[in-house]
Structures are given as structure tokens and as C-alpha cells.
Amino acid sequence: SVDGIVSDGLTAVDESMLTGEPMPVEKATGDEVVAGTINKSGSILFQATRVGKDTALAQIIDMVKRAQNSKPPIGRLADVISAYFVPVVMIISVISALVWLNFGPDPRVAFAIVSATTVLIIACPCALGLATPMSVMVGVGKAAEAGVLIRNGEALQTASKVTAMILDKTGTITLGEPAVTDIELVNGNNESKVLRLAASLEAGSEHPLALSIIESAKSRDLELGPVEQFHSVTGHGVEGIVDGHALLFGNEKLMRDRGIDIEQYLPSAQRMASLAQTPMYLAVDNQLAAIIAVSDPIKEDSIEAIKRLQKNGVRVVMLTGDNRATAKAVAERVGITEYFAEVLPDQKSDKVAELQGQGEIVGMTGDGINDAPALALANVGFAIGTGTDVAIESADITLMRGSLHGLADAIAVSKATLSNIKQNLLGAFIYNVAGVPVAAGVLYPFLGLLLSPVIAGAAMAFSSLTVVTNANRLRLFNAQKH
């Protein structure tokens, strides 16, 4: 099996085994193809990047196996019960034999042996031992079918208890593919000049908004110039020298901090922001030259997925480094009432801690390197599978589809799995509590009823079968309906 990067050709690939999405995905030069997916049309030439155990498919299989073999905290309850249960049953078996030997009818020895043996057989904690792992195995597999990879049993259980979900805006709610949508010129500058200067400066940045500026310049065949003294001002913008001009490019705070007069142009920026666009100011030699607006389209299914989360009682909060007006516009479009704007990368984990301090079980969903600390701090971290490797490694659950429906599916499957585990544990416990006294012979003085070891063995097998059957009901679970 081989993963690779397309170097030539165009085709459509069925990635349903990876993402759960039935529609083929177009692949062209520069796109990634992974082992296990099916080429539906066309032909491509690709360069191998990972083989064998290093492929995405192999890593997914390994993650699912490890998750299926892991034990959620509720599973430890069964271990605790078993630790006390076994010696208690041994004592009951001995007491039962002694009672029959001293007070039972003849043949007393035979009755004592049958009673003690039956207690040991019927009390075999097989069902108790199967209750958790069977449900976890089926539940994790069901999640994988929906394109949700759960790292371990603890993440599975915690996801079922999430009360607040923090969503990073860019790449999570939106596509993460921003494009230049508007340019307002200032002081007689021309569009090609300001776009070329901004793109030249942003060539040293890896921010998604920077890439949109560069792509816009390239689409107009503008040749970028070299940058000198480039400096990134975290969370605010960049500065440097291009063609001998001192440039500043960033948000309102950067302009104010550097003493750039933008007051009369604030209404234009606010208009852009009200349309869910991100306005960025370009200053050339300490004079405002242009306001460039960039818009990141909202994912088609974000609104519906957020509604699903809210319907299930989850408090949804949006975080973004964008200005308040843009954040408000996006939040209103997707139906989120609580949001934090102008959040710096190192402040995201502070917001997670703040919600945890309010007693919330917090889930964090993101896709970038700057989301990694918050993903690690959250009670359960959800990484968008189309994001960075650092974010995925920091998260407990990976959403391979890149859709927020995967988030709602993950929570629905985890709740169904935990409910199934509780049913199994309760059923197994009731069976043992009811079965042991009957096997010991408490009904014999009243009904003349004494279980034989054969019937006890059959009852024990039936209880295990019941647990397995109940766990397999999860295979019929449809997360999309929850």
C-alpha cells in the first residue's frame, strides 16, 4: 500500500473508506492520494510519500485496533466489581456447602457438592467481563464507518459527557480556503500595485489569509518582489520592506499601535466585516494605501451540524482571531450566540480553561498548529482530519471528513456506546445477583427447586450471549438521526 502526491494527470477518487463520503473527489497535480482509495476515472502519475505501515490507511487501522482494545473508565468499574465478586462467590459457595452438609436432607454430601458447584458455575463473571470490551469494539468500529477515529476508550467516554464545544472558525466552521473579495484603494494607489506589495510581504507568512493574497496576485500575473526585514506580529499582521517601501499589513490594532491614521476608513472596514469578510489594512511608508477584504466561505453543512449539537444540549462557542464584526457576522450565519473574537493563538487554551472553570466538560475542535495546546488541554480534543499533523496528534478524536457532522456523529456514537455498556453491566450484574442465591438453594425450602450444574452452565452461557447480542445492536445505530 502506498500514499503519494499527484505529479501528473486528473482523476476522480472514491475516498469513502477513508471519509465515509460516497461522492468521488477530484484529484489533480499537487493533491494527495492515499492507499485503499479507488480510482474511478482518468489516470494519474503520483510520487510515493509513505509506504506500508506508514500509510494513512495503516495508521487508521492501528488506531482503531488500539481504541478497540482500550478500556474506558466505566470499564474499570467491572474490574472493581470482579475483584470483590470472585472472593465473595467463593465464600458463598463454601457457606452453601456447609449449610447443606449440616441442615440439608440426605444425601447431604451430594446436595452440598451440587450446590457449591452450581454457585461457582452460575457466578462465572464472563458476562461482566464482556460487557465493556464488546460495546467498545462495536462502537469504535461504528464511529470509524462514519469517518470518526477515536484514539482510546477514555476519549470515547468523555465525548459522551461533553457539555460545551469550542469551535475554531477558520478551517473548522469555514473551508479554510479564503479568497480576496474586495479592495478599497486609498490616497490614489492602484489595485495592482497594492496587491503586489501586500503579496510580496505576505510571501514570508504561512497564515491562510496570506495565501489568499498571494494567490490573488498570481492570478493577475503580478511578479512578487523580495522582502527585507520581515517580521510577523503574532495575531495582528506582518511588516517588512519591499522595493524600498516600509510596509505594514494587518488588522486595526496593528495600525493603531504603529500610529497609522485609519479613522475615516473604519466605516468601510466595518461594512466588509458585516458581510463576514476580514478587512486588512495595508500601509506604505506610514500612509494607509488600501483595505483588502478576504472572505473564507462557510462549509455547506456547518449550519446543520451546529444545530445538531445544540439540539443535543451542547453549548457551542466559536473562537477566532478575526475582528468582532466579522466574528459576529459568521456566528449569526451559523446560529452561534456565544463567540470570542480577536483571540490570539496562545489565548485559545485560556478560553478552554475558562469554560472548565465554569464546570463545563469541554470539547475543542480545530485544525491548525495554533489549536494544538487547546486541543490537548480540553477534556476531549477533536481534530479536523484535513488539518495539520500536529493538531491531529494533539487530539483524542479525528474527524476524517473535515465536516462538523463528524463531530455530532462522534458525540452521538459515544453516547450510544456508553448507554450500551451500562445496559450490559446492569444486565450482567442483575443476572449474577439473582442467579447466585437460587444456585445456593434459597428456594429449595419453599419450592423444592435446586438448580443443576447443567442448567447453571446454560444460564451462564445465555447471559454472555445476551451481552454480545446487545452490544451488536450498536451496528444498527444511525448517528445521523441523533
The fold for domain 179-295 equals Calcium-transporting ATPase, cytoplasmic domain N (3.40.1110)
Give the start-to-end residue ranges of the domains of the chain: 2-54, 67-136+423-481, 145-175+300-411, 179-295
Q: Is 79 a catalytic residue?
A: no
b/e code 116-143 from CB counts within 10 Å (16+ = b): bbbbbbbbbbebbbbbbbbbbbbbbbbb
For the domain 2-54, what is the CATH code?
2.70.150.10
Q: What are the φ and ψ backbone dihedral angles of 152, each rounded to 5 degrees?
A: -160, 175
Distance (Å, whole) CA 360 – CA 154: 17
The H or E element containing residue 12 is strand 2-14
The H or E element containing residue 229 is strand 227-233
Distance (Å, whole) CA 441 – CA 115: 7
Task: Compute the residue count for the chain.
Answer: 482
What does the block give as the cell for 406?
463528524
DSSP 8-state code for residue 396: S
Question: In this structure, how many other beta carbons lie within 10 angstroms of the beta carbon of residue 85?
Answer: 17
Distance (Å, whole) CA 49 – CA 443: 70
Q: Which of 147, 152, 146, 120 is nearest to 133 (CA)?
A: 152
pTM of the predicted protein model: 0.74
The answer to whether 114 and 450 have CB atoms below 8 angstroms apart is yes
What does the block give as the cell for 248?
505594514
Q: How, if at all, do strands 38-51 and 2-14 pair?
A: antiparallel
CA atoms within 13 A on the CB side of 10: 0
Tell me the angle at which helices 208-219 and 191-202 cross, rounded to the nearest 10 degrees.
140
Dihedral, CA of residue 417, residue 77, residue 378 and residue 387, to nearest 10: -40
What does the block give as the cell for 116?
457449591
DSSP-assigned letters across all residues of 291-354: EEEEE-PBPTTHHHHHHHHHHTT-EEEEE-SS-HHHHHHHHHHHT--EEE-S--GGGHHHHHHH
Q: Which of 461, 463, 459 is nearest to 423 (CA)?
A: 463
Q: Is the link from the previous residue into 107 a cis peptide, with omega within 30 of 0? A: yes
Q: Tens digit of pLDDT per residue, the chain (482 long)?
A: 788 999 988 888 887 666 555 567 788 888 888 888 888 777 889 999 989 888 877 877 776 677 666 667 777 777 787 788 888 889 999 999 999 898 888 888 988 999 999 998 888 878 888 888 899 999 998 998 888 888 888 899 999 999 999 998 888 898 878 889 899 999 888 999 999 999 999 887 767 778 889 989 999 999 999 999 988 887 788 999 999 999 999 999 999 999 999 999 999 999 998 888 889 999 999 999 999 999 888 888 999 999 999 999 999 999 988 888 888 989 999 999 999 988 887 788 899 999 999 999 999 998 766 777 888 889 999 988 765 455 566 678 988 888 899 999 999 999 999 999 999 988 888 887 888 888 888 888 888 888 888 888 888 888 889 999 999 999 999 887 77
Q: Which residues contact 350 (CB under 8 A, 6 or more apart)?
A: none
Distance (Å, whole) CA 386 – CA 458: 51
DSSP 8-state code for residue 387: S
Assign domain 145-175+300-411 to a CATH class: alpha beta
DSSP 8-state code for residue 70: S
Euclidean distance between the first and final Cα of the chain, in Å? 36
Distance (Å, whole) CA 256 – CA 263: 10
Distance (Å, whole) CA 170 – CA 161: 26
Q: Which residues contact 432 (CB under 8 A, 6 or more apart)?
A: 85, 122, 123, 125, 127, 128
pLDDT of residue 388: 47
DSSP-assigned letters across all residues of 17-41: HHHS--S-EEE-TT-EE-TT-EEEE
pLDDT of residue 201: 92
Per the residue annotation, which of 3, 14, 168, 371 is the catalytic one? Answer: 168
